[in-house]
C-alpha cells in the first residue's frame, strides 16, 4: 500500500503550475503525534488563475457527458471509495488526529452515500420542468424551466471533515456539469488530493476537478475567478468571502459556525438523552459544526441527567488513535482551537462554573483535551454563547421548556438543535419554535446524513443550504424557455392599436382576473 506521502508527491508532480507555487510549501502535521506527514504546495494567486483557465476549458466536455455519463463516473468513484476506504481513513486520521471510527462513520459513510445519491438524484433535481401559466398571453406555448451549470465552481472547506465538508460539496457541483476547484484547509489538504486522484482513476476528465492547496490567501484568490463559491468555515471568514463574492456579483453559499443547543424536557428518556449528549458533544472531539455545544435541562430531571452524563463522559478514553476501538476521543486538529477551548473553560470557572470531569489539556505528545462536563453555567460565559469546537459539554438548569426555548434562541448562531421528550408531539412543537436550520426530536446531528433534506444555518450560521434539490440547483443558473409552436404572423395585441381589440382584451382580463375567487 502506498503511503500518504507518496500520493501527495505524485499529486505535487502532476499539479499544473508548481512554478507559480510560493515558498517551500505547507507542512501537514499529524495533530495526534506532532509528526509532519507531508508537505504540499502553497499556491499563489497566479497559480489559481491558471487553474481557473484550465477548469473553464475542461468544463464544456464534462457538461457534454450528460447526466448519465457524469453519473457513471460518480458511481465508479463510489466503488473506488469503498475499495480504498481504509487508505482514505488512514489519510484522514493522519491529518486530523480524529479516531478511526469518526473517520469511518462521518466521512466514509457520508461520502459513500453522497456519490450514489447525487449520481441518482442529480438528473431528477435538474430535469427540465414543464410549467403551466395563468398568463392568458402565453396560452398554447411550451414553457420550460431549465437548469444549466454555472461553469466553474470554487469550493472552500474547513479542517474538521476533510472528506465530508471539503470534498463532499464537490460531488453535486460536478454532477451538475461544472468544473470545480477545491481549496481545502491548509491544515488538512491530503484527503482532498487523494480523492482527486481517485476520481481521475474513475475517468473524470483532466482539470474538471483541481485541488488548490494553500492558505487563506489561496481561498481569497479563488473567489476572484469562479462563477460561484461554496464556502464552509467560520462565520468570520464566511463574511469576508460573502463580501468578495458580492463585489463580483457571484452567488455564495455559506455553511458557517454553530452553537447547537440540546433541550432535555422532564419527560425525556434520560438514559437516551445522556447517551446522545455524551456522543454528540464528544464525537470528533467536539469539532463538528453541529456538535451539541450546550444543554438546557428542566429542573426536575437536572440532577439525574448530570449524574448520568458525567459518568459516561468520565469513562471516555482520549488520546492517539491506534486503530479501531483504541480511543473514543481523538486530537484537537487545529492548534489555535486548543487555546479557544482552554479559554472557554477558564472563563466559565472564573465566573463561577464547576468542572465535573475533565477541564485540562492532556499532557504529553499530541494535542488533546480531556472530555469535559461543566455545570452552574449561564449566558455570561463564553462556553454558552461562543462556538467552543472542542470536547466540552456545559449543562444548564432551566425552570421549564419555555425558558429552554428562550435561551436556546438567545444566540447569533442557528445551525442545529435537538429536543428530548417522550411526548413526540410536544417535542416537535418545541422543535418548531427553535431558530435553527435543523431540529431533531429524540436525536441529534442525524439530519446531516439525510441528503434528501436541506442542511443550512439560520442567522449567522450561514446563507443557503447543502443537500436536497436546492443543494444541486445552487450550482446552476435557471433559464426560462418559451417555445411558440402555433406561430401566427403577429399577435392580436401588436401594432396598429385598435380600440376594438383593446376592449376585447379588457373583457378578457376582467373575465380571467376579475371574478374575485380562486381558480
3-state SS, one letter per residue, for 396-423? EEECCHHHHHHHHHCCCEECEEEEECCC
Write down the least CB distance from residue 235 to ligand NDP, Å.
7
Binders of ligand NDP among residues 364 to 403 (CB under 6 A) are 387, 389
**Of the candidate residues 16, 25, 205, 216, the single one contacting ligand NDP (CB under 6 A):** 216
Q: Are 370 and 323 within 8 A, CB to CB?
A: no
Cell, residue 297: 435541562
- The residue with its CB nearest to ligand NDP is 219
**Of the candidate residues 183, 320, 367, 474, the single one contacting ligand NDP (CB under 6 A):** 183
Rounded (5°) CA angle 153-159-165: 45
Measured between alpha carbons, how far is 23 from 40 in angstroms, rounded to an integer? 11
Q: Which stretch binds ligand NDP (CB under 6 A): 93-101, 235-243, 480-488, 499-507?
A: 235-243
Catalytic residue among 170, 202, 289, 476: 289
Which of 213, 357 has the CB closer to ligand NDP? 213
Name the nearest CA neighbour of 224 among 251, 244, 246: 244
Measured between alpha carbons, how far is 388 from 328 in angstroms, rounded to an integer? 19
**Of the candidate residues 185, 191, 283, 385, the single one contacting ligand NDP (CB under 6 A):** 185
Binding mask 294-333 for ligand NDP (x = CB under 6 A): ----------------------------------------
Q: Does 233 bind ligand NDP (CB under 6 A)?
A: yes
* Cα torsion angle, 337, 38, 161, 320, sign: negative
Q: Does 234 bind ligand NDP (CB under 6 A)?
A: yes
Binders of ligand NDP among residues 445 to 484 (CB under 6 A) are 457, 462
Catalytic residue among 11, 90, 186, 255: 255
Measured between alpha carbons, how far is 177 from 390 in angstroms, rounded to an integer? 37
Measured between alpha carbons, how far is 393 from 154 in angstroms, rounded to an integer? 35
Name the nearest CA neighbour of 356 among 310, 400, 396: 310
Which of 147, 389 has the CB closer to ligand NDP? 389
- Exposed/middle/buried for residue 452 (C-beta within 10 Å: 0-12, 13-18, 19+): exposed
202 is catalytic: no
Q: Are 387 and 462 within 8 A, CB to CB?
A: no
Beta bridge mates, 372 = 392
Which of 167, 389 has the CB closer to ligand NDP? 389
Q: Does 293 bind ligand NDP (CB under 6 A)?
A: no
Cα atoms found within 13 Å of the Cα of residue 401, Cβ hemisphere only = 19
Q: Are 83 and 18 within 8 A, CB to CB?
A: no
Binding mask 241-270 for ligand NDP (x = CB under 6 A): x-------------xxxx------------
Binding mask 32-71 for ligand NDP (x = CB under 6 A): ----------------------------------------
Which of 188, 310 has the CB closer to ligand NDP? 188
Q: Which stretch binds ligand NDP (CB under 6 A): 96-104, 190-198, 217-225, 494-502?
A: 217-225
DSSP state of 33: T
Distances (CA, A) of 338 to 189, 269, 334, 368: 20, 33, 7, 8
255 is catalytic: yes
Name the site residues for ligand NDP (rule: CB under 6 A): 156-161, 165, 183, 185-187, 215-216, 219-220, 223, 232-234, 237, 240-241, 255-258, 289, 334, 387, 389, 415, 457, 462
Amino acid at each position: 500500500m502506498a503511503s500518504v506521502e507518496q500520493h501527495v508527491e505524485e499529486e505535487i508532480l502532476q499539479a499544473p503550475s508548481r512554478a507559480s507555487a510560493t515558498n517551500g510549501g505547507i507542512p501537514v502535521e499529524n495533530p495526534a503525534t506532532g509528526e509532519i506527514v507531508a508537505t504540499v504546495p502553497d499556491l499563489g494567486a497566479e497559480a489559481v488563475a491558471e487553474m481557473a483557465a484550465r477548469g473553464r476549458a475542461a468544463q464544456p466536455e464534462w457538461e457534454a457527458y450528460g447526466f448519465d455519463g457524469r453519473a457513471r463516473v460518480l458511481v465508479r468513484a463510489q466503488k473506488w471509495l469503498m475499495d480504498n476506504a481504509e487508505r482514505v481513513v488512514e489519510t484522514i486520521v493522519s491529518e486530523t488526529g480524529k479516531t478511526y471510527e469518526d473517520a469511518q462513520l462521518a466521512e466514509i459513510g457520508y461520502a459513500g452515500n453522497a456519490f450514489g445519491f447525487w449520481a441518482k438524484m442529480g438528473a431528477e433535481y435538474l430535469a427540465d420542468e414543464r410549467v403551466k401559466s395563468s398568463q392568458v398571453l402565453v396560452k398554447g406555448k411550451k414553457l420550460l424551466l431549465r437548469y444549466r451549470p454555472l461553469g466553474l465552481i470554487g469550493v472552500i472547506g474547513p479542517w474538521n471533515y476533510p472528506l465530508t465538508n471539503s470534498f463532499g460539496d464537490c460531488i453535486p457541483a460536478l454532477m451538475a456539469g461544472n468544473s470545480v476547484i477545491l481549496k481545502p484547509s491548509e491544515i488538512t489538504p491530503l484527503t482532498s488530493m487523494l480523492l482527486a486522484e481517485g476520481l481521475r482513476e474513475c475517468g473524470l476528465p483532466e482539470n474538471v476537478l483541481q485541488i488548490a492547496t494553500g492558505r487563506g490567501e489561496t481561498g481569497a484568490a479563488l473567489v476572484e475567478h469562479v462563477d460561484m463559491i461554496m464556502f464552509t468555515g467560520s462565520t468570520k471568514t464566511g463574511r469576508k468571502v460573502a463580501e468578495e463574492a458580492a463585489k463580483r456579483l457571484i452567488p455564495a453559499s455559506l455553511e458557517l459556525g454553530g452553537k447547537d443547543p440540546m433541550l432535555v424536557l422532564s419527560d425525556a428518556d434520560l438514559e437516551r438523552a445522556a447517551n446522545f449528549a455524551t456522543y454528540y458533544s464528544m464525537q470528533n472531539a467536539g469539532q463538528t459544526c453541529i456538535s451539541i455545544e450546550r444543554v438546557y435541562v428542566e429542573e426536575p430531571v437536572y440532577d439525574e441527567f448530570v449524574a448520568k452524563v458525567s459518568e459516561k463522559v468520565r469513562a471516555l478514553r482520549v488520546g492517539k488513535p491506534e486503530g479501531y476501538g483504541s480511543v473514543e476521543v481523538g486530537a484537537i486538529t487545529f492548534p489555535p482551537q486548543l487555546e479557544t477551548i482552554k479559554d472557554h473553560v477558564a472563563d466559565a470557572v472564573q465566573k463561577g462554573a464547576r468542572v465535573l470531569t475533565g477541564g485540562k489539556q492532556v499532557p504529553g505528545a499530541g494535542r488533546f483535551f480531556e472530555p469535559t462536563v461543566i455545570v452552574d453555567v449561564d449566558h455570561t460565559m463564553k462556553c454558552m454563547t461562543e462556538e467552543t469546537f472542542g470536547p466540552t459539554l456545559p449543562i444548564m438548569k432551566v425552570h421549564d421548556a419555555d425558558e429552554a426555548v428562550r435561551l436556546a434562541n438567545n444566540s447569533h448562531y442557528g445551525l442545529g438543535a435537538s429536543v428530548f421528550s417522550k411526548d413526540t408531539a410536544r417535542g416537535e412543537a418545541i422543535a418548531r419554535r427553535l431558530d435553527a436550520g435543523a431540529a431533531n426530536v429524540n436525536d441529534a446531528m442525524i439530519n446531516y446524513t439525510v441528503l434528501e433534506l436541506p442542511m443550512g444555518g439560520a442567522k449567522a450560521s450561514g446563507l443557503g443550504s447543502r443537500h436536497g434539490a436546492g443543494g444541486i440547483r445552487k450550482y446552476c443558473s435557471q433559464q426560462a424557455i418559451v417555445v411558440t409552436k402555433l406561430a401566427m404572423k403577429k399577435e392580436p395585441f401588436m401594432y396598429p392599436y385598435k380600440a376594438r381589440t383593446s376592449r376585447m382584451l379588457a373583457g378578457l382580463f376582467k373575465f380571467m382576473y376579475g371574478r374575485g375567487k380562486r381558480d
